[in-house]
Amino acid sequence: MQRRVALKNLAAAAGLVSMPAWASGWNKSAVASAAPYLSAGQDAVLAGIVETIIPATDTPGAKELGIHSFVQKMVTDCYDEKVQEKLVKGVDAVERMAKGTFSKSFATLDAAKRMDILLKMEKNTDPDKKEFFALVKGLTIRGYLNSEYVMTNLTHYELIPGRYHGCVPVAAK
């Protein structure tokens, strides 16, 4: 291997090590310190959306793990203003659909009615609504699978997998 290639690979590895702490194995307190992008009412609607996507079963749901805060943090830190506006407009559209269909706020609806509204959003002909739902669904799944709870309790993540056992007795056949 040439020295320049080795140095380039070392620099790339150093860049991965310096990734923000909240990006991998994050928990609620890592993302909660940031100022929320959405208002309190919009945050409650977003929490209802992520809870509908990944509800609580024998494991905690997305709302309990604070995935709605993760979605806001990702959109504000990693996406441009057009996507940020799409998030706000999409949350408001979900709330309008809930009030128009059931005369209640989305956050107060039961799981079946919330699922009905989200299915309508996913199948909507308006591309902005479809993109909003795809964005939130993707970030919800990503945030859930990379949360500290899932990484430590469900997938048993190891930073450096595999072990070397250099002195192991060998049985004769």
Q: Does 7 reside within a domain? A: no
Q: Does 33 reside within a domain? A: no
Quickly count: other Cβ atoms within 10 Å of residue 88's Cβ. Answer: 15
Residue 106: which of 34, 27, 45, 24 has the closest Cα?
45
Q: Does 138 reside within a domain? A: yes
Q: Does 6 reside within a domain? A: no
Q: Does 145 reside within a domain? A: yes
Q: Does 71 reside within a domain? A: yes
Between CA 23 and CA 87, with CA 133 as vertex, the angle to 5 degrees is 65
**Helix 111-122 vs helix 81-102: angle between axes, to the nearest 10 degrees?**
130
Rounded distance between C-alpha atoms, residue 93 and residue 97, angstroms:
6
By CB atoms closer than 10 A (0-12, 13-18, 19+), residue 115 is middle
DSSP 8-state code for residue 36:
P
Q: Does 88 reside within a domain? A: yes
Q: Residue 157: what pLDDT?
A: 76
Q: Residue 25: what pLDDT?
A: 56
Q: Residue 32: what pLDDT?
A: 58
Residue 142: which of 69, 67, 85, 89 has the closest Cα?
67
pTM of the complete model? 0.72
Residue 71: which of 132, 129, 157 has the closest Cα?
132
pLDDT mean values, one per 10 residues, the chain (173 residues): 64 55 57 66 92 92 92 90 92 93 91 92 89 94 91 81 78 80
Q: Residue 33: what pLDDT?
A: 46
Question: How many folded domains does the chain comprise?
Answer: 1
**Backbone CA torsion sign across 142, 144, 145, 149:** positive
Range of the domain at 87: 39-154
